Amino acid sequence: MADTPNRWRRFDEWDDRPLRFDRFAVDNAEAGFAVFRSPYDPDASVGIAGGKVVMLDGRPAPDFDIIDEFIANHHLDQDVVEEAMAMDPAAVARMLVDINVPRAELERLARGMTPAKLAEVVGSMSALEITFAYAKMRQRRTPGNQAHVTNAKDDPLQLAADSATAVALGFDEIETTMRVASNSWSNALACTVGAAVGRGGVLFQCSIEEAEELQIGLAGLASYAETVSVYGTERAFIDGDDTPWSKAFLTAAYASRGIKARCTSGAASELLMGFHEKRSLLYLEARCLCVQRAMGVQGTQNGGIDGAPLTASMAGGLRELMAENLLAVWLGLECASGNDTRVSESEIRVGAKITPYLLAGSDLICSGFGSVKKYDNSFNASLFNGEEIEDYLVLQRDFEADGGLTPIAEDRVLDLRSRATEALAAVFDELGLAIVDREMISSVIFASGSDETASFTAGEATQISERIQADRITALDVVAALARRGFRQEAENLLLMLRQRISGDYLQTSAIIRDGHVISAINDPNDYAGPATGYRMPPARWDAVRGIRGTVSRESVLATEAVGDHVPASSMRLVESGPATQGSDKHEVVIGISPAFGEKLHRTTAGHAVSDVLAALMAGISEGGGKPRIVRLRHTADTSFLGLSAARLSGSGYGIGIQAKGTSVLHQADRLPHLNLELFSNAPLASLDHYRALGRNAARHTYGEKPEPVVVPVRGEALGARFHVRVAMLYAIETDLVDPAAAPVTIDILHDGA
Amino acid sequence: MTAMTSPANPLDLYPVAEKAPDRVQTPNGLKLTDLTVEAVLAGKVKREDIAITPQALMLQAEIARAAGREALARNFERAADLVRVPQDLLLDTYELLRPGRAVGADALRARAAELRRDFGAERVADLIEEAAATYERRGLFAKRF
């Protein structure tokens, strides 16, 4: 760390935090850095004459660019325009958060609003209001999530294992892409097989150039696409090599092949491409979303996406990303709500970014949660990654919010990874694509990431990919291969996905497949209308969500904390020898032990045997010239009162109270209960030396000295998080043994084998 | 369309695979219940069978419209137009619609006419003609590379 002179050193420390890798931009509309409103944004307006839109957001029809034109022709509902455009934006914003105004009514009004009007309404809402409105306006009632499954080697075996793992984690969609473009067919087939292992029924896609993606989809090796990018300025659109008409055509083309499609757009993409027209991020995104609704696509991947980090660099940027997601669902679109690109190096910002979405729910909370490790993610690191999946699972549990994921058991994962790799090996063998040996499989099953595998390389994947394409292999061939080799359930799961294509049910808005059934905004519409409505986790789902790994129960604590009536391995035993009386020795220090100390509880939270702690205290007292005496106190388990009672029995007036968990106090007889001399409140950090020093200090007090108090160093550990579950359960054992009428008892120490 | 009459509310047919499986079939006439692993192993399911039909798309359009999703319904109808358009022509038409690909509005209009004539793709043709007019006004026929 730098140690800069004449500077508060806290700034040096702040400089070293991960947050400081993030860059923060100053607003500058001229340069395109305007979040909600730019002086160059038009005022909302619309003109209609003779059944034609002749003006849109201040621009007359002859000057319409391709986006204006498409919105005028296909988005604006002329039956609603006059009513909707005349409404006060603040009044509309209030309707968005009003549980008494139905979603359908707001969607009707949105069809009569121009981009500038829509942006004005959502731009006026606070982050909290946007979150609430999003919970009400999102399309499907049941929330879902999407995974990225990729790896740095394009290794098909790992893709299959990781796809099966992602399915087990609960993801509804799997998106893959390649390091090497020519590996697309291999990637798609591997993910197809992996996604069929376990519960199956997951939509999958291979992100690549449109023509290739359509071919892969046609072969049944992809079931959805989300590469239909849309931009908010004409020049960005053209630079992206498309127009609203070409994208509308492409969207229809996907549907004609039975493939679910969603568009992609997000704040700051125009800024990244250099064609922002000095307009605000939100206004340009409103144009994108109106175009998407107009195209008739069912949904959008929206909320920054590639532009998310740039948006997050601006003041109010995260509120903007939420606002554009709200626009998407208000326009009736399925929303895969961003939260994919990692917007920050700060874990705090990452956690804060996801929280509103967890609370509100979303059709797909992340449009790409990195189910693999960061370095294996060929889309680049996601907001959440393989490293952080358990953090996400705990956030779901904390807020009792369904983020779409489910904890997985260790043995179950190994079964699935083994099954997936063996299934793919069988398919490769059956279709003459490659030979897989045991070593490759076992390296993949246990690997957390591709650094650890001894499997296919990217170059070998290319050969497999070319053969799949050359042999015109389809998902039907894969079904047959799986079935022939005994992977019957996987064959059934894959065939289920192909059967869905015939009916086209998953082409409808917000469709996903759960337990073999399509659920979408049609048959599972979000019906949130205030408390006790909308989505609530069913009991079985909540049981799954809260069943995270490593929970602590009373039984598990008691089993591991050496609890019970047995005497643990120790050199000393505590034996009662009658009622304790008032001491008279001027240098006596009484140690008052708690009801369960050495009786039912034998170890402190720091892991010391209570006998060792007692020995350290006594040795310290003796070293300091005092006389230790041990008394069992059963009338209380509270540290302060243990200490005070001990002090009052002590001939010197000084005593030490100690609980079995190790919390101890040095007290004096004429003090108030909670005004002690010294306290070890953080028992997990107290060493035997600390206890010994405490004993010595107690003895020195009996000589009228004022020794330097023992300080147990605390380095800011979250001790409550680490220990309080155990402490609460252990302390309950102490309080169970409390008998308010019990008198103090003298304790003798017997040394075994002495 | 099938000879069956539509019930009052198309939403009651959704999901079609569960509520009205008889309303859809594969291009070769297989029913959903015919798509079994045994049938695949016996070679009775062809690669052409894993495809959606115009009838299924029109049914989904009806459902979308009944759910108040007019724009989505129109997309499904355009998709129904495109089902029988061969893959190469489909991709070539997409390519033609990209900026700077067609040399002029006539090329787009000719394609629209072809799709209308050969495939009855009325709605897609309308979309392409609309694009032709806009591209002309905005000068998008200039070669980009």
Q: Do A245 and B11 touch (CB under 8 A)?
A: no
Closest CA to A232 of A116, A355, A378: A116
Q: Is A148 a catalytic residue?
A: yes
Closest CA to A502 of A518, A484, A480: A518
Q: Is A571 a catalytic residue?
A: no
Rounded to whole angstroms, the Cα distance separating B112 from B108 reads 6
B122 CA: distance to closest CA in chain A (Å): 13
Q: Do B15 and A505 touch (CB under 8 A)?
A: yes
Q: Do A66 and B138 touch (CB under 8 A)?
A: yes
Closest CA to A544 of A412, A413, A407: A407
Chain A residue closest in CA terms to B131: A245
A559 contact partners, CB below 8 Å, separation of at least 6? none
Question: Which member of A250, A258, A504 has the closest CB to residue B94?
Answer: A250
CATH architecture assigned to A146-545: Alpha-Beta Barrel (3.20)
The residue-averaged pLDDT of A183-194 equals 97
Question: Which member of A249, A492, A517 has the closest CB to residue B93?
Answer: A249
Q: Report pLDDT for B3.
A: 47
pLDDT of A180 over the 90 cut: yes
Closest CA to A161 of A436, A390, A384: A436
Residues of A in contact with B27 (CB under 8 A): none
Asked whether A394 and A548 are in contact (CB, 8 A), the reply is yes
Residues of B in contact with A484 (CB under 8 A): 41
Residues of B in contact with A501 (CB under 8 A): 50-52
Q: Report pLDDT for A388.
A: 97
Percentage of chain A modeled with pLDDT above 70 = 98
Domain with CATH 3.20.20.350 in chain A: 146-545
- Antiparallel, parallel or unpaired: β A664-668 and A654-658: antiparallel
Q: Do A253 and B68 touch (CB under 8 A)?
A: no
Average pLDDT, rounded, for chain A: 95
**CA angle, B110 as apex, B109 and B115 as ends, to 5°?**
95
Options A120, A154, A226, A402, the catalytic residue: A226
Q: Do B57 and A256 touch (CB under 8 A)?
A: yes
**Local confidence band at A564 (pLDDT 50, 70, 90 cut-offs):** low
**Local confidence band at A472 (pLDDT 50, 70, 90 cut-offs):** very high
Radius of gyration, CA atoms only, chain A: 33
Options A41, A120, A175, A234, the catalytic residue: A175
Question: Which member of A107, A243, A476 has the closest CB to residue B50?
Answer: A476
Residues of A in contact with B99 (CB under 8 A): 238, 241-243, 246
Task: Render pLDDT for A386-443 as a digit per residue (tens, 0 to 9).
Answer: 999 999 999 999 999 999 999 999 999 999 999 999 999 999 999 999 999 999 999 9
pLDDT of B48 over the 90 cut: yes
Domain with CATH 1.10.1510.20 in chain B: 85-145
Closest CA to A519 of A535, A533, A495: A535
Least confident among A201-205, A262-266, A667-671, A707-711:
A201-205
Which CATH fold topology does A557-751 show?
A: Rossmann fold (3.40.50)
Task: Render pLDDT for A449-459 as a digit per residue (tens, 0 to 9).
Answer: 999 999 999 99
Q: Is A146 a catalytic residue?
A: yes
The residue-averaged pLDDT of A292-306 equals 95
B139 CA: distance to closest CA in chain A (Å): 11
What count of Cα atoms within 13 Å lies in the side-chain half-sphere of residue A106?
30
Asked whether A27 and A33 are in contact (CB, 8 A), the reply is yes
Q: Do A210 and B94 touch (CB under 8 A)?
A: yes
Q: How far is CA A572 from CA A168, A528, A564, A565, A745, in A?
A: 52, 65, 17, 15, 18
Amino acid letter, B116: R
Task: Render pLDDT for B127-141 as a digit per residue (tens, 0 to 9).
Answer: 999 999 999 999 999
Q: Report pLDDT for A1.
A: 57
The residue-averaged pLDDT of A263-289 equals 96
Amino acid letter, A98: D
Torsion from C-alpha of A711, A712, A715, A719, nearest 10 degrees:
-140
Percentage of chain A modeled with pLDDT above 90 = 90
Task: Render pLDDT for A496-542 as a digit per residue (tens, 0 to 9).
Answer: 999 999 999 999 999 999 999 999 999 999 999 999 999 999 999 99
Chain A residue closest in CA terms to B45: A476
Backbone torsion region of residue A557, taken as left when φ is above 0, otherwise alpha when ψ lies between -120 and 50, otherwise beta: alpha
Amino acid letter, A566: H
Q: Report pLDDT for B1.
A: 45
Q: Do B52 and A108 touch (CB under 8 A)?
A: no
Q: Give me the interface pTM, i.e. the ipTM.
A: 0.96
Question: Which member of B14, B75, B134 has the closest CB to residue A297?
Answer: B75
Q: Is A226 a catalytic residue?
A: yes
Rounded to whole angstroms, the Cα distance separating A70 from B102 reads 19
Q: Do A241 and B99 touch (CB under 8 A)?
A: yes
Question: Which member of B57, B74, B91 has the closest CB to residue A504?
Answer: B57
Mutate to test the interface with A, among B31, B46, B52 (most CBs of A within 10 A): B52
Asked whether A403 and A362 are in contact (CB, 8 A), the reply is no
Mutate to test the interface with A, among B72, B76, B91 (most CBs of A within 10 A): B72
Q: Report pLDDT for B2.
A: 47
What count of Cα atoms within 13 Å lies in the side-chain half-sphere of residue B69?
33
Q: Do B40 and A250 touch (CB under 8 A)?
A: no
Q: Report pLDDT for A750.
A: 87
Residues of B in contact with A215 (CB under 8 A): 87
CATH architecture assigned to B85-145: Orthogonal Bundle (1.10)
Domain with CATH 3.40.50.10150 in chain A: 557-751
Q: How far is CA B111 from CA B95, B115, B132, in A?
A: 12, 6, 10
Rounded to whole angstroms, the Cα distance separating A295 from A172 reads 25
Closest CA to A55 of A46, A42, A68: A46
Q: Is A175 a catalytic residue?
A: yes
Residues of A in contact with B65 (CB under 8 A): none
Q: Report pLDDT for A754.
A: 43
Q: Report pLDDT for A438.
A: 96
pLDDT of B65 over the 50 cut: yes
Chain A residue closest in CA terms to B34: A499
**Local confidence band at A562 (pLDDT 50, 70, 90 cut-offs):** low
**Backbone torsions φ then ψ of A115, nearest 5 degrees:** -55, -45
